[in-house]
Structures are given as structure tokens and as C-alpha cells.
Structure 1
Amino acid sequence: MIGQKEENTCFFTGHRSIPESKINEVALRTREQIYHLTAQGYKHFICGGAVGFDTIAAVQVAKVKAGGADIKLILALPCRDQTAVWKNTDMLRLYQKLKGVADEIVYISELFTEGCMKERNRFMVEHSTACITYFNGRRVGGTAQTVRMAKEKNITIFNVYSPVKE
């Protein structure tokens, strides 16, 4: 599937840190956007495999697919050793489970390099026409950079972020 820009491909980008009180709401909004795009003919959904929104998004794609939707989960991972420094065993198990249900896994680099995360983000932008994001509007960071890249490519962006009142 991945080799060129696909008209029916959406990618996800978002923050790693999501308040615990908002996770279910973010998951629901993400799933609703996946259904919306699926109804418009989107078939491929690319997730970057990071902790936080990437994981929430991948789980939602897997749920929609398990419900009978004809869609594919593609993991675009920055490197094979991405989880080498992860300490949370629950997240490691979920990561392995998502790799098991993915229809395709693309590794941007064999080993971690200084630029592999940015290259992963560029890859997702270059192969998509839509983006679902959890973006708080801050101007710095990987999510901000990826959203800017998507805007430069005139990619349709759906933001599932809502201000958190705590």
C-alpha cells in the first residue's frame, strides 16, 4: 500500500500526554472521525506508534476494523528499537498487540537516530490526504511541526482536542 500518496489515507499525530480524565472523550472523538472518514471512502489509517494519542488512535482504528469496516491499520514506526527506553510494561504489551493487529508496519530507520521521529512524521504527511490530530495549539514540538507540514501540503485536518478544565 505505502509507496505513494494515497487519496484515501489518513494519518494521526498528537501529544504524548493526555489528561487521564480526557482519554475516553479523546478516544470517542477519534473513533467518530474515523467513521466519518471511512464513510467518505478512506481505507488506510497511519499511526506513528508513540505513547499517548498515537496509541489511542491505533486502538480506535483496530476497534472500527474489528466492527467490520474495510480499513487497514498501518504503523509507521520511527525505528525498530523505539521502545528501548519505555518503562511502562502495560504500554509495551499494548504496543506489541497493536503491531500484531497492524496490516502493515513501515520502519523509517533500523536504529534510533536524531531525526527518525521527524522523518516518520514527514512520511505520514507525504502519504496522506487527511489528518486526525490531538493538538493543543502550542507552536513547538513534534505535533506542532507535523500539523504545520500537513497544512503546507493542504491536508484536511480534524482536531479532536478540546480545552481541559481541571
Structure 2
Amino acid sequence: MTPKEEYIMKKTGLFQNETLFFYTYIAHNGQIYKTTAASLDVCRKLRDRWQRHLSTSFTGHRHIANYAEVKKKVENAVRFCYKNGQRFFYVGGAIGFDTIAAESVLRLKEEFPDIVLIVVVPFPQQDKLFNNSYRNRYFNILNMADEVITISDSFSNFAYLKRNDYMISHSSQLIAYWDEISLGGTSYTVRKAYEKKLTIYNLYK
């Protein structure tokens, strides 16, 4: 389902010279958020704050040694977050942990029909260096996701960081798989999450 917003503008005040926006947002899973504010911009900011509190992002290494164990941990973590109110899950679409995370959320749709997968890709053709197996899984994830967001029109290393920033700014929790040693995108994202005071679950431990 494509999210949609509706609003009605009404004049108010003693002299009918003020405007109020009565705003309704229907999310990917049919959840409804309503608010009233003096501008559409404020309504949307309040909507984003509401959805952020219901959202979790993923970050993790591309090389996973104990694949079956990590897969089980991810599914348990998603199930735990869902039962504690989380409905929207953001993933970056890379190989390794991102793929495990995305496929886990998609599998759990059978158990939780209102769970939402949002894939945030840094640029088109992120899959250019993927092997055939990962490329097929990647496109299957994109096809089955509730929404795909593309951060940049073209490749750049900065686009990866902007992708990670986007996910953190739209979430209240982070499910990570970080060895607490390696530097790179996962380390960057976890540190950003600490700065923003997100709740962090590190499945590497």
C-alpha cells in the first residue's frame, strides 16, 4: 500500500484570519495518524516524529561467518521489536547483514501482516558489484519491499553515509551487527545512533 496524506484547511479565529490544517496520514500498513496544526509543514513534522517512534533500522557487516545463527538472532530481534510496538523497519540493501535483515522482515510478514519494510538505497545500481546470487536476492527484496527510497542519483562514497544518516534520522531503534572494532559504514551508523540516543541492539555480542 502506498502511503497517502489528506488534509482540510479551515479558517478560524475571531476574525477568521487564521488557518488550521486538519491532517490525516495513512501509512503503508493502514495505520492512521491524525493531527491539527497551523501549517502543513508542521503537520508533516509531527507525522514524521510519530512514525520515527515506531521505526527501527539495521546496520551490519557485509561478511557474515555464522550465517544461520545471525539469521535466527535477527528474526528474534525483529519479533521482539514488533511486540514492543515497532512497525516500520529500514534497511540499506547491501549484501551480508542487510540482506539477512530484509529477508527476515519479509518472512515475518506472514506472522505480522502490518510489518513494513522500507529499503533505503544510496544510489541506483547499488548491485553493480554484487554476485549473481546476491543480485537476485537484492531485486527480490526491492520488489517485495513496501517502499524503496533512493538517496542520490549517482554513485559517491558520501551517498552511503547520507543513506545511513537518513535511516538513523527516521528511527528510534537500531539493530546492529558490529564487532566494535571494524571501522566503516557500520561503525559510523552505530556511533550516529549513540549520538542521537537511539536504543541499540548489537547482535554481534
Q: What TM-score do the two structures reach when normalised by structure 1?
A: 0.91
2:165 — aligned with what?
A: 122
Is 1:100–2:143 an aligned residue pair? yes
Is 1:79–2:79 an aligned residue pair? no
Higher RCO (C-alpha under 8 Å, 6+ residues apart): 1
Is 1:61–2:121 an aligned residue pair? no
1:44 — aligned with what?
A: 88
2:133 — aligned with what?
A: 90
- Deviation of the 1:37 alpha carbon: 0.6
Check whether the contact 1:108–1:120 (CA below 8 A) recurs between aligned residues.
yes
Query: Which ranges in structure 2 are unaligned for 5 or more consecutive residues?
Result: 1-26, 29-43
Percentage identity across paired residues of the two chains: 35
2:62 — aligned with what?
A: 16
Which protein has the larger Cα radius of gyration, Structure 1 or Structure 2? 2
CA RMSD of aligned residues (A): 1.5
Counterpart of 2:160, as a letter, is M
- Deviation of the 1:68 alpha carbon: 3.3
1:32 — aligned with what?
A: 76
Check whether the contact 1:14–1:54 (CA below 8 A) recurs between aligned residues.
yes
Q: What TM-score do the two structures reach when normalised by structure 2?
A: 0.74
Is 1:155–2:201 an aligned residue pair? no
Please state whether the residue corresponding to 2:179 is helix, strand or coil. coil
Distance 1:63 1:92 in 2: 19
Distance 1:114 1:26 in 2: 27
Number of aligned pairs? 159
Query: Which ranges in structure 1 are unaligned for 5 or more consecutive residues?
Result: none
Please identify which structure carries the higher strand content. Answer: 2
- Deviation of the 1:84 alpha carbon: 1.7
- Deviation of the 1:113 alpha carbon: 1.4
